[in-house]
Structure 1
Amino acid sequence: MATVELKRRKKIINDLPEVSDFTNVYFYVNHYNVDQEYIQILDELSGLKDEIISKWLNITTRTYRNYKTKNVSLKDNTKEHLVLILSLYKHGLEVFNTKEEFEQWLTTPNLLLDHKAPMDYLDTVSGLKFIDNRLTAIEFGENV
């Protein structure tokens, strides 16, 4: 990947609003061109299977793969959800310091989350907010 592209992707991630900042999420989605590049960033950042990410975005795996490979216009609700997931990843990486540790926490069933993995909550905006709150709790020393 070219240095210019890496800088651009890093800027995209740095500019993402926090999950809890709904006003800025709204304006971000409406003022930035949330497109295929964001899908590619999530795909590279997460390293998870297409089936998992497409479930989070409430789209079919085939649609997700089309979004990854073709310059197709995303629906507004998909753009918003995508920005929120990327913001959650940004927060998770800040809390856990490594992608591996964050994804281990994200994918492991948790007694304090009704024996569900945190990733099981990412298919709704309220679920994303809930998991983001759990990340904040971890930052302040709670067991989650």
Structure 2
Amino acid sequence: MEIALKHEKVAEIPAVNDFAKLFFFLKDNDINWRYFKYFRDISTLNDEITSTWLNINSKTLRTYRKPESNSKDNIKEHLVLLISLYKHGIEVFGNTEAFDQWLLSENKFLDNQAPKDFLGTITGIKFVDTRLTALEYGDNV
């Protein structure tokens, strides 16, 4: 994943299910505007979708991409988990476009909801990540 290596700390973001490492990553790193910009670079989805996941509006999301910005800790945690999920999704699907397409597609194994509909909460991100792991092992998801 070439784009991840362009950001110095992104390669170090732990897996969604590694709670202790995630806790210390969040504690020990300055999750700043660069992470918001990085997420925009790895996703093909628009700001409206991303801001919905972060429970903020699009204007606030754009503000968080500016060097002088500062966001709340819960938003930073949510963002880091989304980046971790994307790292996993790109690994499973081979590229961002295929992963984003899967996120947007209704899925009969998810009660005909799209995986993107679950990403507004930490628990939802963890759920979608478990579905990615299931796909890796041959499950229909």
When normalised by structure 2's length, the TM-score is 0.93
Match of 2:82 in 1: 85
Q: Secondary structure at the match of 1:47?
A: coil
Pair 1:116–1:84, CA change in 2 (3 A): same
Look up the equivalent residue of 1:61 and give its one-letter code: S
Distance 1:76 1:116 in 2: 29
Match of 1:109 in 2: 106
How far the C-alpha of 1:7 sits from its partner, in A, is 4.5
Q: Which amino acid counterpart does residue 59 of structure 1 have in structure 2?
A: I
Alpha carbons of structure 1 residues 6 and 85: separation in structure 2 relative to 1, 3 Å = closer
Is the Cα contact below 8 Å between 1:51 and 1:61 reproduced in 2? yes
| Structure 1 residue aligned with 2:93 | 96
Q: Percent of aligned pairs with the same residue?
A: 45
* CA apart distance, 1:71: 2.2
The residue that corresponds to 1:63 in the other structure is 60
Inter-partner Cα distance in structure 1 for 2:126 and 2:4: 28
Provide the residue aligned with 1:20 in structure 2.
17
Write the letter of the residue equivalent to 2:132.
L
* Cα deviation 1:10-65 (Å, max 9, x = unaligned): x4221011101111111111110100000000001002111100011111111101
Q: Is 2:31 aligned against 1:34?
A: yes
Deviates more, 1:132-141 or 1:102-111: 102-111
Unaligned 5+ segments in structure 1 are none
User: In structure 1, what is the Cα distance between the partners aligned to 2:4 and 2:131?
Assistant: 30
Residues 13 and 90 in structure 1, CA contact (< 8 A), matched pair in contact too = no
Residue in structure 1 matching 2:40, options 25, 43, 46: 43
Alignment-derived partner of residue 125 in structure 1? 122
Cα distance in 1 between the residues matched to 2:48 and 2:6: 27
TM-score for the superposition, normalised by structure 1 = 0.91
Alignment check: 8 A CA contact 1:17 1:24 kept: yes
* C-alpha separation in 2, matches of 1:84 and 1:8: 18
1:142 aligned partner: 139
Structure with the bigger percentage of helix: 1
